[in-house]
Amino acid sequence: MKTYNIASIPGDGIGKEVIPECEIVLQALAANQPITFAFERFDWGGDYYRQHGKMMPDDGLEPLRNKDAILFGSAGDPNIPDHITLWGLRLKICQGFDQYANVRPTRILPGIETPLRHCQPNQLDWVIVRENSEGEYAGLGGRAHQGHPIEVASDMSIMTRVGVERIQRFAFKLAQSRPRKHLTVITKSNAQRHAMVMWDEIARDIAREFPDVTWDKELVDAATARMVNRPESLDTIVATNLHADVLSDLAAALAGSLGIAPTGNIDPERRYPSMFEPIHGSAFDIMGKGLANPIGTFWSAVMMLNHLGEPTLANRLMQAIEAVTANPQLHTRDLGGNAMMKDVTNAVCEEISQ
Ligand code: NAD
Ligand code: MN
């Protein structure tokens, strides 16, 4: 019997709803299998902040360190500023465990409609690789003379050769593992003439290590139009922290809903646990009502299972997810349906047990 020790951190908003559902689905998947999932729940987030003045304990990384993986919901509370919730919890874990590759698959699942009128489901199949440790979200900068007319504020974007090389290499390798073997490198080196030029140069150098991968370069603004007009021309995409953040919400919307999109914050060297989460946030407008679409979290669990070396279980869960999305009766409100979150969970569990 193999036991996977999983830290589950629901966080806030609908994170508190979808993470318990994901535990249920994973337990259903483990039934009659020679594996168990041992979940340890960490109730960090907005309520913890109101009690302790911080989103998680200062030494909070310690109990996570030896876990096989982390399942994360969302950081974001209607009554706490977003930069405090995000930096105090999610980014603390991403940076603390140097999860430098954020991987975001996007596909149009069966039964789901894309807002793109001329796009067939097989014409949109992307993986966005987001640099997750530096760049625009390095956290460097400051404010002075607050509230005075002479106030100044800065956020400094930092790119290091080590940081850019490792994410480009990861992206080329991922592109190589996919049938198309094509990578698009997103840039903005026309306007940002230092770091982004280095980014381009490093991409060109790393490309030489992967002669079987074709690649091209696209400016980030042009990339938005290309995603809409020529989705089939893209496959694997690598971009900086900020660029990929924006592009992946667009990608999620083009694939039908933010509620479906999964992600993994990966430490490719496996020095630390990796963290899997839906890309959506706390969804204040629907939280506490049982309306959240849990598919983004379930798909994130598929990524987690693959990362853990359980591809058979991962495929089984993905097939169950696709069988459920194929049925419009089981679509939640974000997909134009009337189903509740529980209906989706129950249907996925039923598919698994068949
Ligand atoms: P959001 O993702 O929370 O919501 C955007 C819209 O999408 C809302 O209308 C919401 O109802 C809908 N939506 C999102 N997920 C859904 C789901 N699973 N099912 C159905 N509908 C869904 O983004 P936001 O409104 O910009 O942010 C709200 C809070 O979440 C903020 O505090 C923000 O900082 C935080 N946030 C956290 C993360 C994270 O922790 N990874 C990511 C994004 C936003
Ligand atoms: Mn985002």
pLDDT tens, position by position, 78-92: 999 999 999 999 999
CA atoms within 13 A on the CB side of 22: 36
pLDDT exceeds 90 at position 199: yes
CB of 19 within 6 A of ligand 1: the answer is no
- Asked if 131 and 100 count as a contact pair (C-beta separation under 8 A), the reply is yes
CB of 243 within 6 A of ligand 1: the answer is no
- CA 290–ligand 1 middle distance (angstroms): 15
Closest C-alpha to ligand 1, atom 44: 281
pLDDT exceeds 90 at position 32: no
Decide the pairing of beta strands 2-11 and 35-41.
parallel
pLDDT tens, position by position, 141-196: 999 999 999 999 999 999 999 999 999 999 999 999 999 999 999 999 999 999 99
CB of 258 within 6 A of ligand 1: the answer is yes
CB of 8 within 6 A of ligand 1: the answer is no
CB of 55 within 6 A of ligand 1: the answer is no
pLDDT exceeds 90 at position 271: yes
CB of 231 within 6 A of ligand 1: the answer is no
CB of 334 within 6 A of ligand 1: the answer is yes
CB of 244 within 6 A of ligand 1: the answer is no
CB of 263 within 6 A of ligand 1: the answer is no
pLDDT tens, position by position, 235-270: 999 999 999 999 999 999 999 999 999 999 999 999
Q: Which ligand is nearest to the CA of 44?
A: 1
CB of 285 within 6 A of ligand 1: the answer is yes
- CA 177–ligand 1 middle distance (angstroms): 31
- CA 2–ligand 2 middle distance (angstroms): 34
Q: Which ligand is nearest to the CA of 261?
A: 1
pLDDT of amino acid 64 = 98
CB of 292 within 6 A of ligand 1: the answer is yes
- CA 283–ligand 1 middle distance (angstroms): 4
pTM: 0.96
Which of 79, 277, 280, 284 gets mutated to test ligand 1 (max ligand atoms within 8 A of its CB)?
280
- CA 281–ligand 1 middle distance (angstroms): 3
> Rounded to the nearest 5°, which phi and psi values hold at 36?
-130, 150
Domains within the chain, CATH numbers bracketed: 1-101+269-354 (3.40.718.10), 114-255 (3.40.718.10)
Average pLDDT over residues 280-304: 97
**Could you tell me how far CA 88 lies from the centroid of its own chain?**
18
Euclidean distance between CA atoms 257 and 232, whole angstroms: 19
Atom in ligand 1 nearest the alpha carbon of residue 73: 40
Average pLDDT over residues 313-329: 98
* Alpha carbon separation from 259 to 48, 107, 110, 271, 293 (Å, rounded): 25, 13, 15, 30, 5
Max CA pair span of the chain: 67
Place of tokens 């020095």: 271
pLDDT averaged over the chain? 97
Which of 19, 21, 74 gets mutated to test ligand 1 (max ligand atoms within 8 A of its CB)?
74
Atom in ligand 1 nearest the alpha carbon of residue 277: 41
Radius of gyration of the chain, Cα coordinates, nearest whole angstrom: 20
Tokens of 66: 């030896």
Euclidean distance between CA atoms 196 and 242, whole angstroms: 13
